[in-house]
Chain A
Amino acid sequence: MTRCKEFCDRLSDYLDGEIGKNECILIEEHLEVCPPCAGIYEAMKTTLQLCRAGVSEDVPQDVQTRLKAFLRQHCQNQECGK
């Protein structure tokens, strides 16, 4: 269980490639023999995939139109940096 807790504590860094080679090997060995932690690892990977793909970046058309008009009004006749 201590190993499982350590695994959970280090999972985020592991996914970011932020841990050393030796610790990586220990984690990968643990994943091979611990189905609950392997499940958490898979669930976390799926969670990150969902975060990446699941949040819309659509801007309503009227917001886009007003942004363009606003910026033209305030910037077009002004040199940038002024």
Chain B
Amino acid sequence: MLLLNCSSLPLLVDRVRIMDEDREIVARVVDGDYDAFEKLVEKYQGRIYRHLRKMVHDNSQVEDLLQETFLSAYRGLHGFAGSSSFATWLFRIATNTALMFLRKNHPEVVEFSDEIGNRSDTHFVPAAPEFMSTPLDMLLSQEGRQKVEKAIDSLPFMYRTVLVLRDVEGFSLEEVSRIMESSIPAVKSRLHRARHSVREALNAYYAERNGTSKRSAAGHHD
């Protein structure tokens, strides 16, 4: 607990610095400096693209939603009061843009996404030694990254979105609740189940993967 708080201090300082920087750039945009707006676009396009990609799962639509998000942001920039960070404000626009698209075109994704299935009852899945003993650089290899993406993508919509905002984007619980327009208890509950589900998926994958390689090595030995 103490360790977590100490290690989060530099992150907090960094976040305050970024918020100040963003407010300064926003003020320049509002004063008519279009180049400043392009700076904001360059700064956030990667994170917004990733968020939309994870929400919508349809790459052919993500580009349109990306354009729509930044256009809405530009048009609404006068309304940015600065009571939250620019990032929170922008992610809320992106989330609403994606939600409107999904409600119109794939309502089943949003309406019936509040079930995580039987996996939620199996949180006490012991950690596989194979998962824990796999070196971090291997976990972050091309194959490992694909596995993480797949584990996240297999979550139902609401769980996936909350997990991405909190654990991929690094927003606080309060910020996630603002972006999603959900209560903090609802965010916590979804996050809890989503995290266990991703852990179990990775656990199962590395247990199986290393088990397979050990069997294969034993086969070669024989």
- Residue numbers of A with Cβ under 8 A of B are 4-5, 8-9, 11-18, 24, 28, 36, 39-40, 42-44, 46-59, 63-64, 66-68, 70-71, 74-76, 79-82
Contacts and interface: CB of A to CB of B under 8 A. Distances in A.
A68 B67 CA distance: 9
Interface in B117-164: 123-128, 131-132, 136, 139-140, 144-145, 148-149, 152, 163-164
Interface string B64-83: 00110011001111110000
A16 B162 CA distance: 14
Given A43-B132, A52-B167, A70-B67, 16 more contacts: A11-B196, A12-B195, A16-B191, A17-B5, A24-B1, A39-B132, A43-B128, A43-B203, A44-B195, A46-B131, A48-B195, A49-B136, A55-B148, A63-B66, A66-B63, A67-B45
Identify whether the interface residues of A are mostly helix, strand, loop, or mixed: helix
B50 interface: yes
Identify whether the interface residues of B are mostly helix, strand, loop, or mixed: helix
B149 A54 contact: yes
B71 A54 contact: no
Given A54-B144, A59-B46, A71 B70 contact: yes
A8 B124 CA distance: 7
A81 B124 CA distance: 51
Contact of B123 (A9, A17, A53, A58): A9
Contacts of B74: 71, 74-75, 80
